[in-house]
Each structure stands twice: as structure tokens, then as C-alpha cells.
A and B are shown apart, each in its own frame.
Chain A
Amino acid sequence: MGEKPIGRRVALGVIGAGLTGIVFGSHVQDAMERILGPITARDGTGLSSLFPVGRFRIYSVVGRLPHRSEAEYRLHVGGAVRTPLTLTMADLRAFPPLRLTKDFQCVTGWRVHDVKWTGVRLSDVLDRAGLDEETAGGVVFRSFDGAYTETLTLAQARRDDVMVAYELEGKPLSSAHGGPARLYVGPMYGYKSCKWLEAIDVARGTPAPGYWEVRGYDVDGWVGRSNGRDDPAV
């Protein structure tokens, strides 16, 4: 009859390919992005965005996608500052713009290469408000989703690759991506980059940890050097 255990071979083949993919998949993904990137960029249907090549995942911790129009949008800066501020989108755009092109890396694994951000350096905003150096111990970021918070140390907040971003790939930041304005912390995992940014509170003393930090993530979320690892960033 020539009976063969093909079923077992197929199943083991699928498992073998999958486990190999854990180790080498990031290289395959990079290659696919180089090949498919130009094609998906021209795809008008948006269908190609369903394929796992160089795409953002839209994370929201609340039961809806928070939305605020650019006209309604206000960014409050308060706490241990000399001059509390309420900034409109026009105010944000009046700051000297900062442009950064960096990979966006989620702590769970997905990564989008060479994302172009435009915004204003966070340190410029903090300088405008003027920190109360005596008491300021950290910075708290609040989202207008009503639930999400994030924190940075003062030194982290003053880095040149930390910004309040209002453009992604040259276009105004959409609600899905955290618009009209969000925090973008270049050297850290995505969860540090608080979306739908509504308030920047300079804390007196060390601030309480943010949303995911309470749920086990590292407060200092350096890419490649936190959340269980100490190897260099990739």
C-alpha cells in the first residue's frame, strides 16, 4: 500500500519552520519590508496594511479610540513649574520643529522601521514653563483617554530624542496614532510614548509609575536594555 506518516511530517515541518522563524524571523521581516515596502506604500486599497509587514498595531487601553480635534486640543503643562501653560496646536507648531527618523519598537516584538516624526522637543516645552528646580523630581504624562499615564525622569525628559509629536510621515498625527499630539520617546519601547497627550505634570519627588509599569513593565523602558534584557539596542 505504501502508507507513510505524511501527517506527522507536515505537522513537524510546520513546527520546525515556526521555531526557526522565532530566531531568524526578524531578518526575514526586514528583507520583506525592503521588497514590499515600495509596493504597500502605493497600495490605495489599504488591504496590504493587513499583512504583517512594517505596520503599526493600534493599542488603546480604554473601550474606544479617544478623539479630539486639533481645534479643541489643549496641552496643559503644570505641577512644579514657574508658569503653568495651556498650549494649542498653533502654540506647539510655533516652537522650533524637531524632526526624527527612528524605528518604533514595541516591547512585545513588533517593529516599524524608519518612522518619520515631527514635533517639538519636550525640553523646549519644559523650559517655556520653567521647572521649579527645588522640588521637580520627574515628569508625568496623562492621556485624554482618561486611563493612560507615563513617567520620565528629568534627565530622560531633557533628551534630544524625546518630543511632543504632532506629525507622522509628514501628515498630521491621526487619532489611531495618538493624535493630535502625543509623546514620543525615541530610545524607549512604545509604551513609554504616551498617546493622546493631554497633560504634562512636573512631579514633586519621584512620580508614581505609569499604566503598564503598574502591570509589570520596567519604568525605564530602554529598547534592548530593559524588561528582562541587558543586551544593546537593536
Chain B
Amino acid sequence: MAVTTRPSDALDEGRVARFDRVERMLHWTTAAMFGVLMFTGAVLYVGSLSALVGRRELVRVVHVWTGLLLPIPLIIALVGPWRRALGDDVRRLNRWDDDDRRWMRSLGRDPFARPAKFNAGQKLNAAFVAGAAVVMLATGSVMHWFARFPDDWRTGATFVHDWTAIGLFVAITGHVGKALADPVALRGMIRGWVPAWWARANRPRWVQEPDVRADEG
């Protein structure tokens, strides 16, 4: 999939804007909050870490509040006039076409499955993480405001919260691993743009979209 030889800088003729400032701020605040949630969650869950850190009440409060606040950056990013790029990308992530299905079936190995801005793996990851975050919020609420719910629901919510956490851990580890394996793509989320050569090689149908132009400068 990815190009193996990077064109020399002499041929590196342009940049393509990939994520605007709102998207990047949303991404990194959400990432930081996920980091806090995963750390405090692990401390609450893994016995040896619980024993090491203790202070259960403090860890619990941090975990609960970070979880409750998690949707806030997304809501802020979606309510203002600055939401255009994010809205476009949410639409892109939602829709799957024949190339995406082809990409998914071959797990990215089929050279004729040409991704647009996001490949099918990114789309699946986004959809799963979005759904799982809602599940974590719902089950976490049952666990936190347990007095309103029967014991069976508390047990069910704990069960779902634990397994979904494991699923999220796998998804996020995979996401971070993929980003580290492709530093150019990772810098796209840091600087907001990717080199045109990267976009043409990795997201060929994206650069063909009418309103996406490589800034030839």
C-alpha cells in the first residue's frame, strides 16, 4: 500500500490540507482524555495497579469526570460555524463505497481498492470508537449512579464496560501503532497537511476530489 521510496525533496512539490485547526484540537484533546481514561481505568481494574496506586476515591473521581466531559470537545467542535471540515470528514467516514468494501475484504492489500480521504480501516475504527464511547458513557453511568438500577443491570453494565474497554484498548493501540508506522500521516494530524506525494500514493481518490487541491507552493 504505502510507497516504499519517498520522492526526493526536489520532487516534493506541494502540500495538501488534511485536517483543519478545529479537527486537530478536537483530536488531541480527545486523545488526551482517552489517555487519562485508559490510565485511571487500568488502575481501577487491574488488581496489581490498584494495589500500587491505591487512592481509589481520587482515581474514581478523575475517571468519572473525564468520562463525563469526553463528549464536550466534540460538541463544541460541532456547534459552531467552524464545524465545516469536521462535518465533511464525519460524512466521509460514514459512507462506504465499493472500494472500501474491496479494501476491507483484502485488508488493504488489494491494489485496486483505492482509498479516498480515509481507508476502510480508518472508517471502521472511527465507527467502532464512536459507538463504544457511547456504550462506555451509558454503562459507566449505570455503575456510577447505581442506586437507580437493579443489581442485575449493575452487573451487566460492569460486564459490558469491561469488555468494551478491552475492545477500545485494542482499537486505540492499533490506531496509535498505525500512526507511528506512518509518520507522514501522523504529522498530518499534527501540522494539518500532508505532502502531495503522500496523498497521491496513499489516498489517490482524495486528491481527485473537486475541492481538494494540492497547494503547489
Contact = CB atoms under 8 A, between A and B. Distances in A.
B52 A109 contact: no
Contact of B97 (A1, A108, A231): A1
Contact of B45 (A8, A57, A224, A234): A57
A7 B135 contact: no
B179 interface: no
Contacts of A170: none
Q: Is the interface of A mostly helix, strand, loop or mixed?
A: loop
A4 B123 CA distance: 12
Interface in A22-66: 22-26, 28-29, 49-52, 55-65
A3 B45 CA distance: 41
B145 to A, nearest CB: 9
A63 B53 contact: yes
Q: Is the interface of B mostly helix, strand, loop or mixed?
A: helix
B75 interface: no
Interface stretch (B78-86, B155-163, B195-203, B207-215): B155-163
B204 to A, nearest CB: 16
A6 B52 CA distance: 43
B57 interface: yes
B139 interface: yes
Interface residues on B, range: 35 or more
B123 A6 contact: yes
Interface stretch (A9-17, A78-86, A89-97, A116-124): A9-17
A3 B131 contact: no
Contact of A61 (B56, B96, B142, B157): B56
A18 B54 contact: no
B124 interface: yes
A5 B93 CA distance: 9
A228 B126 CA distance: 37
A58 B154 contact: no
Given A3-B97, A56-B47, A22 B134 contact: no
Contact of A14 (B55, B132, B166): B132
Contact of A11 (B130, B151, B153): B130
B131 A10 contact: yes
Contact of B54 (A51, A65, A105, A234): A65
A4 B95 CA distance: 5
A51 B160 contact: no
B41 to A, nearest CB: 12
Interface of A: 1-15, 17-19, 21-26, 28-29, 49-52, 55-65, 105, 107-111, 175-176, 215, 223-224, 227-229, 231, 233-234
Given A6-B94, A227-B147, 15 more contacts: A3-B96, A6-B127, A7-B127, A11-B128, A13-B131, A26-B152, A59-B56, A61-B55, A63-B53, A107-B146, A109-B159, A176-B47, A228-B147, A229-B151, A234-B151
8 contacts: A3-B95, A4-B95, A7-B126, A8-B94, A19-B138, A21-B157, A109-B142, A176-B51
